[in-house]
Amino acid sequence: MRWRCTISTLVFCVAAASMLINACNKKDVEKGTTSVSFEVPAGFPQPVYDFSKNPLTREGIALGRQLFYDGILSKDGQTPCASCHQQFAAFATFDHDLSHGVDNGFTTRNAQALSNLAWQQSFHHDGGILNLETQPLAPLTAANEMGETVAGVVAKLKGSGKYQQAFRDAFGEGEITSQKMLKALTQFMVTLVSANSKYDQVKRGTTSFTIAEQAGYATFKAKCASCHQEPLFTDGSFRNNGIGINPFLNDGGRIRITRNAADSLKFQVPSLRNVDLSFPYMHDGRFYTLQQVLTHYRTGIQQTPNLDPALQFGISLSNTEASNVLAFLKTLTDSAFVKDPRFAAP
Could you list the residues known to form a binding site, using ranges.
Answer: 81, 84-85, 224, 227-228
Same domain, 280 and 318: yes
Residue 231 lies in a domain: yes
Same domain, 312 and 208: yes
Same domain, 91 and 161: yes
- Range of the structural domain that residue 329 is part of: 198-336
Same domain, 100 and 175: yes
237 by Cβ neighbours in 10 Å (0-12 / 13-18 / 19+) ranks as middle
Same domain, 145 and 223: no
Instruction: Give residue 95's pLDDT.
Output: 85
Same domain, 259 and 309: yes
Among 194, 210, 238, which residue terminates a domain? 194
Same domain, 175 and 62: yes
Partners of 34 in beta bridges: 27
Residue 134: which of 72, 82, 201, 186 has the closest Cα?
186
Same domain, 231 and 190: no
Query: Model-level pTM greater than 0.75?
Result: yes
Same domain, 202 and 182: no
Residue 275 lies in a domain: yes
Among 174, 194, 214, which residue terminates a domain? 194
Residue 345 lies in a domain: no
Among 130, 160, 194, which residue terminates a domain? 194
Could you list the residues known to form a binding site for heme c, using ranges.
Answer: 81, 84-85, 224, 227-228
Instruction: Give residue 78's pLDDT.
Output: 95
- Where helices occur in the chain by DSSP H, the ranges are 10-15, 58-68, 137-141, 150-158, 161-171, 178-190, 198-203, 211-223, 255-258, 290-295, 319-330, 335-339
Same domain, 100 and 245: no
Instruction: Give residue 13's pLDDT.
Output: 38
Residue 2 lies in a domain: no
Q: How many residues does the chain have?
A: 346
pLDDT in tens, the chain (346 residues): 333 333 333 333 334 444 433 434 555 545 689 999 999 999 999 999 999 999 999 999 999 999 999 999 999 999 999 999 999 999 999 988 999 899 888 899 999 999 999 999 999 999 999 999 999 999 999 999 999 999 999 999 999 999 999 999 999 999 999 999 999 999 999 999 999 999 999 999 999 999 999 999 999 999 999 999 999 999 999 999 999 999 999 999 999 999 999 999 999 999 999 999 999 999 999 999 999 999 999 999 999 999 999 999 999 999 999 999 999 999 999 999 999 999 999 9
In contact, 36 and 25? CB cutoff 8 Å? yes
Same domain, 172 and 36: yes
Residue 342 lies in a domain: no
58-68 vs 161-171: helix axis angle to the nearest 10? Answer: 150
58-68 vs 178-190: helix axis angle to the nearest 10? Answer: 100
- In the 8-state DSSP scheme, what is residue 287? B
Sign of the dihedral defined by the CA atoms of residues 268, 272, 278, 282, in that order: positive
Query: Domain holding 256: CATH number?
Result: 1.10.760.10
Give CB contacts under 8 A, 24+ apart, made by 46-51.
Answer: 47/118, 47/119, 47/190, 48/118, 48/119, 48/120, 48/121, 49/117, 49/118, 49/119, 49/132, 49/190, 51/190
The helix (H) or strand (E) run that includes residue 27 is strand 20-28
Residue 51 lies in a domain: yes
- Which residues touch 220 (CB under 8 Å, ≥6 apart)? 228, 325, 328, 329
Structural domains counted in the chain: 2
Residue 76 lies in a domain: yes
Same domain, 15 and 101: yes
